[in-house]
Amino acid sequence: MVIESKLHRFVHDISSVSRPQQFTWPFHYVPHPLCTIAANELQNYVQSRQEWAEELELGKMLGVLVVEDPDGTLGFLAAFSGNLAGDNNHDYFVPPIHDLLNPDGEFKRGEHEISAINHCIDALERSPQRQQLIHVRSERIKSQEQELEHFKQIMEQGKQRRHTLREEGHLTAEQEAELIRESQFQKAELKRLKLRHLEQLADIDTELSVLEHEIQELRKERKLKSEALQSRLFDLYIVNNARGQQQSLSQIFADFAKREDKPRYAIPPGGAGECCAPKLLQYAYQHQLRPVCMAEFWWGNSPAGEVRHHGHYYPACRSKCLPILTFMLQGLDVEPNPLADKCQNQLEELYDDSWLTVVNKPEGMLSEPGKLLSDSALTRFMERHPEATGPVLVHRLDQETSGLLIFAKDKDTHKELQRQFAEREVRKEYIAWLDGFVQRDGGIIDLPLRPNADDRPRQVVDFELGKQAVTHFEVMERRPDGITLVLFTPRTGRTHQLRVHASHPLGLGCPIVGDMLYGKAATRLMLHATSITFVHPVTGEQLTIRCPFTPPE
């Protein structure tokens, strides 16, 4: 049976491993021991396939889903994102939800039509006629620029001569009028010269515009066909949930965008439905296998700009998988989102006066209310300080980051503190425990960052489109267990700046302990805002507030 080639029985003895009570929350999780055992067995398998080694070395997301068959016996399914070795179907792995690589399928037919348009565009762009016109136009422009530059030099010489004559004085009214006429003539001649240049290019531009119009029309046709193909394909991706319901990806994304009021989710992005998690769940539902727990891990080198570590587990991507899994998990008893749980720790005030308060925000608490969780440092501060008016929150910390946070109690204080942050007059220090050995004792990390549009809130390094992000670091301690204690002083304040600068190969190459997005899961993210220095907006005194932190054993 096909199911037996996809459902794998554990080689490792799992009799002493207890089953999880609830299914994995896929967007923030610590892998269950059953998943790590299944992942190890999958890793052993892919390492045995030498013909895939080169491709897998480039990087691939792999996933496992532990399932229970109708007899109550545990096994696991395996999947890869996208395709592997030019194919969607391999014996060990679950099949795709819809096979894009089927030569007789919708995608291949549409791809053939789009490829034909691409060939036409390429032929027009490379045509001898167009290349000759572009060459002639370029040569004419060079000649015109030289002529224009020569005439401007003549004008400048005339201007200097007229200036000298005026400086020497003794000009009659008629001589002054002659100088003005000369200046006016040269300016008019410059306009006539530029007009002649345009006329010299007009015939070439006319011929080129005809070709360019044809190219643009083909590009429009290609865009329309591509969008129509995408729409048809996502209608063909029909997925199930644990309740036995079915929906196409087109409908899932449209419903999710409307319900969550997130227009960017209205149309499925490219690659939706090709990730591990949807493939695994779909196969389980279709073959009466009950999902028990799930995990995805990266295998191979990190993509350029991104942070992916070989063998590390990662949460499901949000842009492609959040709407899909929101539907597919319906009917399963799923773990609650841990980031939506109210933080049980208290908000400690370290400094307070009539104008501002500095608090120690505990790990797991939002800086301000979110859509899923109203509890936050801001709401707790307002409960304690109802006298605060106007904007209050001056800056933010990630939910997983602990440490110093400033609140203002009036509009003027808030405005001045924000100015200090904007002009980088505030000095912040963070202490972090890094997973690995940092060789340099200190220095500067300068890696520009931008959001990963396909996997928010992750950030990527981008030297063309990223915003400057600069961090100073100093190694405080290197521990025998391979943990490095580092003091970070960020000079900019980009999202996830310290987390990416720590984990990226061009940074320190050692992720912060407990960083689920860029490293490995742990009890918490070991990043703490330990010191902040600023000028008091009212008294003018320079304040330094410190908040030491000792990590849990």
Q: How far apart are CA 242 and CA 68, in angstroms?
A: 14
Per-residue pLDDT of the chain (553 residues; tens, 9 = 90+): 456 679 999 999 999 999 999 999 999 999 999 999 999 999 999 999 999 999 999 999 999 999 999 999 999 999 999 999 988 899 999 999 988 767 667 777 777 888 999 999 999 999 999 999 999 999 999 999 999 999 999 999 999 999 999 888 888 899 999 999 999 999 999 999 999 999 999 999 999 999 999 999 999 998 888 877 777 888 889 999 999 999 999 999 999 988 888 887 888 888 899 999 999 999 999 999 999 999 999 999 998 888 899 999 999 988 889 999 999 999 999 999 888 777 888 899 999 999 999 999 999 999 998 877 788 999 999 999 999 987 899 999 999 999 999 999 999 999 999 999 999 999 999 999 999 999 999 999 999 999 987 777 899 999 999 999 999 999 999 999 999 999 999 999 999 999 999 999 999 999 999 999 999 888 899 999 999 999 999 999 999 999 998 766 5
- Strand 356-361, strand 348-352: pairing: antiparallel
Q: Which residue is associated with the tokens 């109802």?
A: 386
User: Active-site residues: which are they?
Assistant: 398
Q: What is the pLDDT of residues 244-262, one digit of tens each?
A: 999 999 999 999 988 888 8
Distance, in Å, from the CA atom of 195 to the CA atom of 475, rounded to the nearest integer, reads 65
- The predicted model scores a pTM of 0.75
Token pair for residue 464?
Answer: 């063309």
Secondary structure in 3-state letters for 47-95: HHCHHHHHHHHCCEEEEEEEEECCCCCEEEEEEECCCECCECCCCCCCC
pLDDT in tens, 429-460: 999 999 999 999 999 999 999 998 777 789 99
Residues 544 and 532 sit within 8 Å (Cβ to Cβ): yes
Query: Phi-psi bin for 151: left (phi > 0), alpha (psi -120 to 50), beta?
Result: alpha
- CB within 8 Å of 423: residues ≥ 6 apart: none
